[in-house]
Chains A and B, each alone.
Chain A
């Protein structure tokens, strides 16, 4: 059986699941479509069991953050070793409370990739057997790959701000300049201390 194109896969899924499958993206490079969050697990079980699709490999699972739309788009790349077709699907998770079904029961590779998305995007996965941070420490605050993430200023009293090594040279430059006599014309330079001098006794008094 030949590999299906993204259009054919999209048609097949739309016929089966109707509104749960969004329209195919406009033809900008890689085509993709959306899956309704409520139907995700059901669609994925179908992807694996359907003989014409036979998706046996969850090739990639990642996310993109869209604060303006208030969604985190979780991106799934599916591949079939049997038919050699690849396609991408997205699931929109509510940014305020992102929660999706875990795909761990369908493909085991989802386990670690979902942990990564949980760690870096803060998307939680229902039914995941071991959902905890993977790359960052467990007490890390925030999810760095979100667009509005700002560094907390350090971690456990270790500052994330370092002195710029170039500052040393800049300071040296300033010191050298301070030691040198001012290159300005002598007349205003002499006038300035003269103006300052009478003020000093007044300050002391």
Chain B
């Protein structure tokens, strides 16, 4: 029987799943609802200077990369397997698109975080 390479993607899926199961809702609430609505947070919570300073620390870079990258590795794994559940016979091509997207996004985020500076 053919050995599956699933462990690689499942590990990333799991890491992203844990991270998003801890931080997903609160981040969406803060960045997508509370701050844009203008109440419940100081007005400069997501202001450019503050966020830039954050993104220029190693801690901030690690946090941003982990969140964006792992959320995506988790999501694409689930989406890819759900295609099958929906009766879409997703083969290697679909896998390449899904996982490729997460890979490109990871590399792009890393690159952007580097050029943002220190």
> Are A and B genuine complex partners?
no
Binding site for B on A (CB under 8 A): none
